[in-house]
Amino acid sequence: MELLPVIKKKNSPITIAGPCSAETEEQLQQTCFQLAASGKVDVLRAGIWKPRTRPGHFEGVGEIGLNWLQQIKKEVNLPITVEVANSKHVEQALKYGVDILWIGARTTTNPFSIQEIADALRGVQIPILVKNSPSPDLGLWIGAIERFYKSGLQQIGAIHRGFSSYQKSTYRNTPLWEIPIELKKELPEIQLFCDPSHIGGNRDLIAPVSQYAYELNFDGLMIESHQNPDEAWSDARQQITPERLVELLSHLVIPRKELSRQKEQITLELLRENINRIDDVLLELLMSRMEVSKEIGIFKRQNNLSILQQDRWINILESRIKTGKHLGLSELFLKKYLEALHQESIHHQHNVSIETLFI
């Protein structure tokens, strides 16, 4: 795929901001005028049709909101973006001169909807941003991007808005940063945005999540802003006033992607050498551990014992997590690491066991 940038801007990250939903003309004007006047916002956003998980909530003002946005755009001269979820939305958004379309998380989940939108866009040149699906499935995210590309669009970007999880967590939608990193590996030229509002679900998390995204070289942010966040008709807890948004942006540090001075390069290389050496030792140690696993595998085969010994596994998990946490490692990492280690160990035990059986 030969993708082009959705928004052209040199040297500093892009900011897309605006309310979760367009509610009234006054609310939209006040918020957007303030955001535009700050000079810190590159694109204005507002939800016109709102995909609510359960019925009985505010589902957006519809077409009238596009009219309000069109008037605002004339006054402030900033591009506007809205979410589209079907071909009718596309038709209306185009009629009112929307500059950039975005695809919501729930829509990315459904290839039928994506195809319907892609078909409606055939022959139209408009930039589009695709949010990830709520399930941690990179295929759905890339699949949606491919469908738009096949229908002739080239200005396609991605928005990382986190992933749903049944378990309660600090985040409304867990970031699982490895997924957008993988997306960037598959599509290096794609412009990638972070939506800290929907990841955090809470005002206090917007700054740390945004900084994290900058550290990972994201191209920009999409942040929900409302002139009176507590009274917002949707996503009240995660919206911030335009003033707060400007303050927050001024506190974020924009890291450089490349090393410049030679001294920096030397220091970093020395530290990286240390990491490389430690990784080598770790790998050797892991293999020594697997050698012992193999011996255990042979022993279990000879004594006809099953490989999985539940009590021992639970004991390993609990004791190593305790030690690891004490050393300063996170529980989430320790769990993932121990599970992977256990699987690999079972795999080695099974292989030697099979060899002994069939020779």
* Binding residues for ligand PEP (CB under 6 A): 20, 47, 51, 104-106, 131, 161, 198
CB neighbourhood size of 97 (10 A):
13
CB-wise, 57 or 150, nearer to ligand PEP?
57
Under 8 Å between Cβ of 233 and 199: no
CB-wise, 99 or 235, nearer to Mn ion?
235
The helix/strand/coil state of 9 is coil
Look-up: residue for tokens 């994201």? Answer: 218
Closest distance to ligand PEP from the beta carbon of 131 (Å):
5
- Nearest residue to the partner ligand PEP, using Cβ: 104
Closest distance to Mn ion from the beta carbon of 224 (Å):
5
Q: Which does 104 bind (CB under 5 to 8 A by kind): Mn ion, ligand PEP, none?
A: ligand PEP
CB-wise, 20 or 61, nearer to Mn ion?
20
Q: Which does 13 bind (CB under 5 to 8 A by kind): ligand PEP, Mn ion, none?
A: none
Closest distance to ligand PEP from the beta carbon of 8 (Å):
23
Q: Which does 161 bind (CB under 5 to 8 A by kind): Mn ion, ligand PEP, none?
A: ligand PEP
Closest distance to ligand PEP from the beta carbon of 19 (Å):
9
Under 8 Å between Cβ of 80 and 73: yes
77: left (phi over 0), alpha (psi -120 to 50) or beta: left
Q: Which does 131 bind (CB under 5 to 8 A by kind): Mn ion, ligand PEP, none?
A: ligand PEP
Closest distance to ligand PEP from the beta carbon of 133 (Å):
9
Closest distance to ligand PEP from the beta carbon of 264 (Å):
37
Nearest by Cα to 162 from 142, 135, 186: 135
CB-wise, 46 or 120, nearer to Mn ion?
46
The helix/strand/coil state of 298 is helix
Tell me which amino acid residue 217 is: N
Residues engaged in binding Mn ion (CB under 5 A) = 20, 235
Cβ-proximal residues to 341 (8 Å cutoff; 6+ apart), any chain: 286, 289
Cβ-proximal residues to 120 (8 Å cutoff; 6+ apart), any chain: 87, 90, 91
Q: Which does 153 bind (CB under 5 to 8 A by kind): ligand PEP, Mn ion, none?
A: none
In degrees, rounded to 5, the angle at the alpha carbon of residue 276 between the alpha carbons of residues 272 and 278 is 115
Closest distance to Mn ion from the beta carbon of 204 (Å):
17
Q: Which does 51 bind (CB under 5 to 8 A by kind): Mn ion, ligand PEP, none?
A: ligand PEP
Closest distance to Mn ion from the beta carbon of 277 (Å):
47
Q: Which does 352 bind (CB under 5 to 8 A by kind): Mn ion, ligand PEP, none?
A: none
Q: Which does 105 bind (CB under 5 to 8 A by kind): Mn ion, ligand PEP, none?
A: ligand PEP
Look-up: residue for tokens 């991605």? Answer: 158
Distance separating alpha carbons of residues 193 and 209, to the nearest angstrom? 12
CB-wise, 234 or 293, nearer to Mn ion?
234
Distance separating alpha carbons of residues 354 and 346, to the nearest angstrom? 12
Measured between its terminal Cα atoms, the distance across the chain in Å is 50
In degrees, rounded to 5, the angle at the alpha carbon of residue 357 between the alpha carbons of residues 354 and 359 is 105
